[in-house]
Amino acid sequence: MLIGYARTSTAEQEAGLEAQTRDLAAVGCERIFAEQVSSVGPRAQFDDAHAFARSGDTLVVTKPDRLARSVADMLAIISRLEAKGVALRVLSMGGAEVDTRTPTGRLMLTMLGAVAEFERALMLERQREGIAAAKAAGKYAGRAPTARAKAAQVLALHGQGVSGAEIARRLGIGVASVFRILRDDRTASQDAA
């Protein structure tokens, strides 16, 4: 059985997730697991796909970076799959497919994973250099604090008796951020008194 796995890092990449699921369905995946999470955090749908797979099945992904961030991670995933008798197939490899059921496929995937990891490291290095240059020029302010920008709304909803969890849900911020804003407001009120 072909089992598909699709992943994007953020909800803003909806089109990318749709394209992956379409490509996986086109090659005949009977079951597709998809999620929008970072590859460095917990991936419930990947865990579900792994648990669902049986010996003789093949897990299919569109690109290696949808599955792993590093060569070590990729090799660990391949090892977990192989322990269950499950192969890995990667569709988008410069017009070719890579299948870990063959020694050549495992070699290609390892080499391409190493190149992808190297490219990512270079990109992150350039990003750090750019941020350092922007800070030195006084042009870098960092990420805008999203929860703090909604402090007035948090306080207004709290004043109406809305629970912290409901405030967080309505405003799209974390519950911890809601309670931090409420705590900071109480502290400011006590300091003023």
Catalytic positions, please? 9
CA 99 – CA 93 distance, rounded (Å) = 11
CA 6 – CA 95 distance, rounded (Å) = 19
23, 38 contact by CB (below 8 A): no
Tokens of 149: 């920008």
For residue 3, what are the β-bridge partners?
31, 59
- Closest to 46 (Cα-Cα) out of 17, 69, 67: 67
